[in-house]
Amino acid sequence: MAWWGWAIGMAIAVSQTTNPLLLALALAVITVVVVSRRGSSPWARSFRLYLWLGVFIVVVRLVLHVLVGLKTGDHLVLSLPSVQLPSWAAGITLFGDLTLEGLIGAALLGLRLAIMVAAVGAANALANPKRLLRALPGALHEIGSAVVVSVTVAPQLADSVQRVRRARELRGAASTGLRAIPAVALPVLEDTLERSLLLAAAMDSRGYGRHPHAPRGGDHITSALTLGGLLAAAVGIYGVLDASTSAFLGAPALILGLALSALGLWRGGRGSRRTTYRPDPWRAAEWLTLSCGVAAAAAMLLTARHSPEAIGMPLEPLAWPELPMAAAAGLLVGALPAWLTPQPPRPVRRGIPTRAGRVSAGV
Amino acid sequence: MSEAIILDGVSIHLPDQERAVLSEVSLSVPEGELALVVGRTGSGKSTLLGAMCGRVPHFTGGNLAGRVLVDGRDTREHRPRDLADVVGVVGQNPLAGFVTDTVDEELAYAMEQLGLSPSVMRKRVEETLDVLGIADLRGAPLRELSGGQQQRVAIGSVLTAHPRILLLDEPTSALDPTGAEEVLATITRLVHDLGVTVVVAEHRIERVLHYADLVIHIGDGQVDVGTPAEIMRSSQVAPPVVELGRLALWSPLPLSVRDARRLARTNPLPLAAVAPTAPANLPQAAAILQAEGVTVRYAGGLVAVADVSLTLERGSVTALMGRNGCGKSSLLWALQGTGTRSSGSVLIGTGPTSVDPARLAPAERRRRIGLVPQTASDLLYLDSVGAELAVADRESQAAAGTAARLLNRLAPGIDEAQHPRDLSEGQQLALVLAVQLCAGPEVILLDEPTRGLDYAGKEALAGVLHDLAEEGRSVLVSTHDVEFVAECADRVMVMASGEIVADGPTAQIVVSSPAYAPQVAKILGGDYLTVAQVHEAIALSVAQVRESSTGAAP
């Protein structure tokens, strides 16, 4: 839970800047923390996947820039013929002269998004999503379990694809290529459906979704509260992130929105009588992690308000970016959890691993 | 005594089925009893259990007439989730029903849904860990447990809600003999110590019969309820010990090995003096598959098969036994050539034509060595039996109709227009076996083929394997089912943690092991393994008596 707070803080910090020095620093901080504090669950291995997704984002951003981007600047890199689109798409020019300024700007925007994605990936790798579920308010519990169960299906799916492909080979047929798709997909689909039905039946028989005394009347107030809260929170986040709006739209709107949402969730959760076995404790280490994330975001937001030119990449004229001390220090504070939090517990391993276990470990 | 479960005039129609699965069933299970549900494959055992926990018809759909009362609650008004605090349900495949990752979280899940306080949960989790004897597994990941441990956790995960009734659908079908014993010991302990009412559906009746207070027999939609001895006298399915009792006309009918041994001492069977030989073993049969130092190592360093050398002979049926997860499947896949093989060599055939199956193209490979995997239905993907058979002919470049002829021999009377998924497990197995035999391999490997087969199905399969051996092929079958091994195998290999620890003729290997001895051998000593052998011996002795009396007369 605390890791998610930390990751959101890092993401907010990153979203403010296009300064390559700060971006590189943020990426380094996230990577260091993930590498030193991730557990040994299959989730922990997913970070690399998010990094590749980030690379993909940067590449797509560059390609889009070459295709339709607005090309400005003086440093010509490559001269491409520009294609004027017909009148129904007036104003869009394909290709055109590529400038250094444009390319760097596009790459940095892509990198910013990629690092925000990496921050989310870091949270995913550091905290088991199933544990996040336990911290969800009662009203969201059922949606939450559905999401978590559907995520758990992925390793099982990989397992059954592998099994069916080997079975295809037993029949002497190629297990790859277009023609093998129906032969592999059908048994896999069948298998997945069967598993889901079994799981659903098991959860049902164990009391999932029991509402002994579901309150009916309060539903409208609950939804009004939640909806209003979400709207206010959205406005608030916009206000906080956009340095040019008035101060009133920022923090106060956000706080009001969160309060309304919390009230709505509390009302919605009253009906369900669920409890939590051994809830995750919230101790000093959790506070520390959360406050490191908040510090990183706060330092960046302050720099953005007071010296907005320092955290952007100077493109016109093109120049070497300066390193704003406050923002950099904030990001470095974000790296502290890598040393100050306790090591993740190593799970006890016993018995002979099943084949399923091996496959999920390999994914 | 009050009744835990009452069914009153219950008829069940499932969707897409014309005939009623169960019709006009009235029965009651008294509190604190262990009831065993028996019947042929597809007779409606699971449906009956489903009706007792409200899954039928709330979850499956269909139509239920009559009334089902579970601990006084009518399933018409109560959905399965509303019965969660009185009924616990455990299925065949525990892994499919797990919601969380670790043992203690899984045990707590049902209690969280019921809204119990954290202190009660902590206490009950600890108590349940002790009752099941799995306290040292508290924080272990569920996927890494052995089959028997997983099944015990699954039982524990419903026990923590303190249900009055426990429903178990084939709890031991996937387990090795030792794992099954653990689970059954746990179940009897629950009945005796905690007074839980337990209803178990089981194919391998020999494992549970002597613990049961009550047997519910389902045959052709009709349900009979009675004491084990009453029902077993005329049951369509019966374990070897009961078959032996019926053959020997023992009364009362023995239900456990111990009863039967006592009866055998007081009324000895008229067995022929000559001990029967084990099923004909061809003298010095030619080797057809030779494996040297086969090792299978998976990513992550796990060694599933460690340096195994073996020889399979023409015209023999060999059984491969061993605990869950000891490497049997990995060995079969490695021998066949499709699976991983880290080192070692496998050669099929003799002399200059011998070849390593892993080097062959898949289509060529299956002409030399065929494998029927654990989930046989993975091989089926077309929408009718006829289409599967036609494709099999084409894949094997066999004459049209070859596969259909094979299937007709293995399991006569399957409608070719049927969808393969609608077949019973035995019929699916027969179809896959026909598809694989179509290519005419010299060696056939079968991975756990007896899952979900009743006694008649297993007997038919044993007959088929015997015929294959007679044709000069070599059959290697991995299984947990000792009775099936006694019936069909000439030779038994036992695996433990990736190595072959015993290898020899069936009689020699299984009789000497406490876990693998078949019931008949436990009763009559090592000379006989199956009821059929005893039957033969009695016939022989009767013939001898007649011979000697006619010889003495003149």
The residues, ordered by sequence, that sit 6+ positions from A192 with a Cβ below 8 Å of its Cβ are A153, A156, A157, A160
Band of pLDDT at residue A193, cut at 50, 70 and 90: confident
The proportion of chain B whose per-residue pLDDT surpasses 70, expressed as a percent, equals: 96
Query: Which of A171, A181, A192, A272 has the most B C-beta neighbours within 10 Å, making it the best mutation to test the interface with B?
Result: A171
User: What pLDDT, on a 0 to 100 scale, did the predictor assign at position A216?
Assistant: 53
Nearest to A205 among B55, B139, B436 (CB): B55
d(CA A289, CA A299): 16
Q: Which of these, A318, A329, A258, A352, lies nearest to A99 by C-alpha position?
A: A318
Region B74-92 average pLDDT = 89
Distances (CA, A) of A206 to B70, B151, B156: 15, 16, 12
Q: Does the bond joining A317 to the residue before it have cis omega, within 30 degrees of 0?
A: yes
Residue A39 with chain B: CB contacts under 8 Å: none
The amino acid that residue A103 corresponds to is L
Region B22-42 average pLDDT = 91
CB contact under 8 A, A173 and B363: yes
For the cut 80, the answer to whether the pLDDT of residue B338 exceeds it is yes
For the cut 70, the answer to whether the pLDDT of residue A90 exceeds it is no
Q: A89-103, A158-172, B1-15 — which is least confidently predicted? A: A89-103
d(CA A19, CA A223): 42
CB contact under 8 A, B299 and A362: yes
Q: pLDDT per residue over A8-18, tens digit each?
A: 888 888 888 88
CB contact under 8 A, A357 and B144: yes
CB contact under 8 A, A206 and B82: no
Longest dimension (CA), chain A: 71
ipTM of the complex: 0.85
Q: A251-260, B23-32, B378-387 — which is least confidently predicted? A: A251-260
Residue B370 with chain A: CB contacts under 8 Å: 170
Residue A203 with chain B: CB contacts under 8 Å: 99
The residues, ordered by sequence, that sit 6+ positions from A63 with a Cβ below 8 Å of its Cβ are none
For the cut 80, the answer to whether the pLDDT of residue A229 exceeds it is yes
A214 touches chain B (CB under 8 A): no
CB contact under 8 A, A173 and B113: no
The structure tokens 């052998």 sit at: B533
Nearest to A275 among B93, B116, B158 (CB): B116
CB contact under 8 A, B105 and A353: no
B500 bridge partner residues = B495
Query: Which of B46, B326, B378, B497 has the most A C-beta neighbours within 10 Å, making it the best mutation to test the interface with A?
Result: B378
For the cut 90, the answer to whether the pLDDT of residue B269 exceeds it is no
Residue B161 with chain A: CB contacts under 8 Å: 206-207
d(CA B327, CA B69): 45
User: What pLDDT, on a 0 to 100 scale, did the predictor assign at position A363?
Assistant: 30
Which two tokens mark A18? 């296009």
A286 min Cα distance to partner chain B (Å)? 22
Other beta carbons less than 10 A from residue A235's beta carbon: 17
Nearest to A198 among B54, B96, B381 (CB): B96
CB pairs under 8 A between A and B: 203
User: What pLDDT, on a 0 to 100 scale, did the predictor assign at position A95?
Assistant: 75
Region B427-446 average pLDDT = 91
Q: A55-59, A311-315, B163-167, B519-523 — which is least confidently predicted? A: A311-315
Half-sphere exposure of B20 (CA within 13 A, CB side): 16
CB contact under 8 A, B421 and A355: no
Residue B157 with chain A: CB contacts under 8 Å: 206
d(CA B407, CA B469): 17
Q: pLDDT per residue over B219-260, tens digit each?
A: 877 899 999 999 998 888 899 999 999 988 888 889 999 999
Asked whether the beta carbons of A15 and A2 are under 8 A apart, the reply is no
Please indicate whether residue A298 or residue B88 has the higher confidence score (pLDDT).
B88
Other beta carbons less than 10 A from residue A179's beta carbon: 9
Residue A201 with chain B: CB contacts under 8 Å: 55, 59, 80, 89, 91, 97
- DSSP string for B154-210: HHHHHHTT--SEEEEESTTTTS-HHHHHHHHHHHHHIIIII--EEEEE-S-HHHHGG
Asked whether the beta carbons of B446 and B477 are under 8 A apart, the reply is yes
For the cut 70, the answer to whether the pLDDT of residue B396 exceeds it is yes
Q: Which of these, B228, B282, B235, lies nearest to B255 by C-alpha position?
A: B228
Q: A317-326, B115-124, B291-300 — which is least confidently predicted? A: A317-326
For the cut 90, the answer to whether the pLDDT of residue B309 exceeds it is yes
CB contact under 8 A, B55 and A204: yes
Mapping DSSP onto H, E and C, the string for B457-509 reads: HHHHHHHHHHHHHHCCCEEEEECCCHHHHHHHCCEEEEEECCEEEEEEEHHHH
Distances (CA, A) of A215 to A136, A150, A270, A273, B526: 20, 29, 9, 12, 69
d(CA A143, CA A151): 13
Q: Does the bond joining B80 to the residue before it have cis omega, within 30 degrees of 0?
A: no
Q: Residue B81's closest chain A neighbor by CA?
A: A207
Region B96-116 average pLDDT = 87
Model pTM? Answer: 0.78
Q: Which of these, B428, B425, B426, B424, lies nearest to B385 by C-alpha position?
A: B428
Q: Residue A194's closest chain B neighbor by CA?
A: B96
The residues, ordered by sequence, that sit 6+ positions from B93 with a Cβ below 8 Å of its Cβ are A198, B174
The residues, ordered by sequence, that sit 6+ positions from A220 with a Cβ below 8 Å of its Cβ are none
For the cut 60, the answer to whether the pLDDT of residue B273 exceeds it is no
Residue A352 with chain B: CB contacts under 8 Å: 144, 146, 325-326, 497
The proportion of chain B whose per-residue pLDDT surpasses 90, expressed as a percent, equals: 36
Band of pLDDT at residue A200, cut at 50, 70 and 90: confident
CB contact under 8 A, B381 and A276: no
d(CA A332, CA A338): 11
User: What pLDDT, on a 0 to 100 scale, did the predictor assign at position A41?
Assistant: 63
Half-sphere exposure of B124 (CA within 13 A, CB side): 24
Residue B363 with chain A: CB contacts under 8 Å: 172-173
- DSSP string for A313-325: --TTTT-PPP--H
CB contact under 8 A, B99 and A353: no
Asked whether the beta carbons of A269 and A301 are under 8 A apart, the reply is no
The amino acid that residue A10 corresponds to is M
Residue A274 with chain B: CB contacts under 8 Å: 112-113, 115
Asked whether the beta carbons of A167 and A195 are under 8 A apart, the reply is no
Q: Residue B159's closest chain A neighbor by CA?
A: A206
Nearest to B378 among A182, A187, A209 (CB): A187
Mapping DSSP onto H, E and C, the string for B117-136 reads: CHHHHHHHHHHHHHHHCCHH
The answer for A 23-52 residues in CB contact with B (under 8 A) is: 41
The answer for A 139-198 residues in CB contact with B (under 8 A) is: 145, 149, 163-164, 166-174, 182-183, 186-187, 190-191, 195, 198
Contacts by A45-51, CB closer than 8 A, 24 or more apart: A45/A125, A45/A363, A46/A121, A46/A124, A46/A125, A47/A118, A47/A121, A47/A122, A47/A124, A47/A125, A49/A121, A50/A117, A50/A118, A50/A120, A50/A121, A50/A122, A50/A124, A50/A125, A51/A118, A51/A121
CB contact under 8 A, A145 and B392: no
Band of pLDDT at residue B126, cut at 50, 70 and 90: very high
Distances (CA, A) of B522 to A248, A287, B240, B260, B512: 86, 65, 11, 9, 10
- How do strand B87-90 and strand B165-169 relate by DSSP bridges? parallel
Half-sphere exposure of B511 (CA within 13 A, CB side): 16
User: What pLDDT, on a 0 to 100 scale, did the predictor assign at position A144?
Assistant: 72
The residues, ordered by sequence, that sit 6+ positions from A166 with a Cβ below 8 Å of its Cβ are A175, B333, B338, B339, B373
Q: What is the b/e burial string over B488-520, where b = at least 16 CB atoms within 10 angstroms of the residue's CB?
A: bbbbbbbbeebebebbeebbebbbeeeebbbbb
User: How far, rounded to the nearest angstrom, does the alpha carbon of residue B246 sit from its chain's CA centroid?
Assistant: 23
A244 touches chain B (CB under 8 A): no
Q: Residue A187's closest chain B neighbor by CA?
A: B378
Nearest to A163 among B87, B89, B375 (CB): B375
d(CA A336, CA A29): 9
**Gyration radius from chain B CA atoms:** 25
Half-sphere exposure of B362 (CA within 13 A, CB side): 18
Q: Residue B112's closest chain A neighbor by CA?
A: A275
Q: Is A320 exposed, middle or buried (0-12, 13-18, 19+ CB in 10 A)?
A: exposed
The structure tokens 């790798």 sit at: A125
Residue B149 with chain A: CB contacts under 8 Å: 351
A277 touches chain B (CB under 8 A): yes
The proportion of chain A whose per-residue pLDDT surpasses 90, expressed as a percent, equals: 1
**Gyration radius from chain A CA atoms:** 25
Nearest to B81 among A209, A276, A360 (CB): A209
User: What pLDDT, on a 0 to 100 scale, did the predictor assign at position A129?
Assistant: 67
User: How far, rounded to the nearest angstrom, does the alpha carbon of residue A251 sit from its chain's CA centroid?
Assistant: 23
The residues, ordered by sequence, that sit 6+ positions from B395 with a Cβ below 8 Å of its Cβ are A171, A172, A173, B363, B438, B439
CB contact under 8 A, A351 and B395: no
d(CA B149, CA B144): 10
Asked whether the beta carbons of B357 and A163 are under 8 A apart, the reply is no
Asked whether the beta carbons of B52 and B198 are under 8 A apart, the reply is no
The amino acid that residue B279 corresponds to is P
User: What pLDDT, on a 0 to 100 scale, did the predictor assign at position A362?
Assistant: 34
For the cut 50, the answer to whether the pLDDT of residue A351 exceeds it is no
A271 touches chain B (CB under 8 A): no
For the cut 90, the answer to whether the pLDDT of residue B34 exceeds it is yes
Query: Which of B52, B58, B81, B136 has the most A C-beta neighbours within 10 Å, making it the best mutation to test the interface with A?
Result: B81
Region A195-202 average pLDDT = 85
d(CA B80, CA B158): 13
